[in-house]
Structure 1
Amino acid sequence: MKQILVIDDEDDIREIAKVSLQTLKQWQVLTAGSGDEGVAIAAEAQPDAILLDVLMPGVDGLMTLEHLKSTPATQFIPVIMLTATGGIVSEQRYAELGAQAIINKPFDPGLLGDQIALVLHWDHE
């Protein structure tokens, strides 16, 4: 069973993603409300992938991504960015920092699991 960590400062986004992925994909979903909390959970739980919000107060998604990719315990966990503020420049920057993909907000809860599986090539497992 796949385990996903959702890091987002918005309670409703975390809950929608969690319910969607648990119901439609039967994945185990962990959640964190901040970048620092997410990094700690990722290091301990070693999830199969991380959904990471870009815009968060304090430690934002970019800083969190940099921390995840520079920490030996979490550097190989695939990270997918969640953003409401897309753009070519930011997409290139996230890719340079090691993000696997970007999913735009608002996302479709019915398609979220399929989008993650497609990006991470989990559809063949």
Structure 2
Amino acid sequence: MKSCLVVDDSKVIRKVARHILEGLDFTVSEAADGREALDACLASTPDVILLDWNMPVMSGMDFLRALRETPLGARPKVVFCTTENGVAHIRAAIEAGADEYVMKPFDRETLQSKLQIVGAA
């Protein structure tokens, strides 16, 4: 079973994402900010990370840069999940190492298609 770490400071978004991902046969863990997420990845690397952009403590971009500099055994797929939809934001995320980008709000169909694009569904 594939694993997904949902990183978002919104408990509601984490709950919605968990519901969708568990329905797609993922084992789901959660983190409320980038620092918590980085610690979780160092403890056990997930297959996929669903990542919010704007969070306290450590933003999604700061987390992604730190993650990509960390010598993990596996390289998790990262799907940014945010309300930031400008081309500059999307380009910056991809350049920082994101594999895909999904806009909030999202539904099961949208999330599943993004997971298929990155080879995780």
**TM-score, shorter chain, exceeding 0.5:** yes
Larger CA deviation: 74-83 vs 94-103: 74-83
Q: Percent identity?
A: 31
Structure 1 segments unaligned to the other structure (5+ residues): none
The residue identity in structure 2 corresponding to 1:29 is V
1:52-102 per-position Cα deviation (integer Å, ceiling 9, x unaligned)? 100112311111111111111277211110110111111111111110011
Please tell me the residue identity of whatever aligns with 1:63: D
- Alignment: residue pair count: 121
State whether residues 43 and 74 of structure 1, in contact with CA within 8 Å, keep that contact through their aligned partners in structure 2. Answer: no
1:92 paired residue number: 91
Q: What's the RMSD between the two structures over aligned residues? A: 1.6
Gaps of 5+ in 2: none
Q: 2:59 aligns to what?
A: 60
**When the two structures are superposed, what TM-score results if normalisation uses the length of structure 1?**
0.89
Q: Which residue of 2 aligns with 1:21?
A: 21
User: C-alpha separation between the residues in 1 aligned to 2:52 and 2:92?
Assistant: 15
State TM-score, norm by structure 2.
0.92
Q: Report the CA distance shift for 1:2/1:102 in structure 2 as closer, same or farther (over 3 A).
A: same
Distance 1:83 1:4 in 2: 17
Q: 1:111 aligned to 2:109?
A: yes
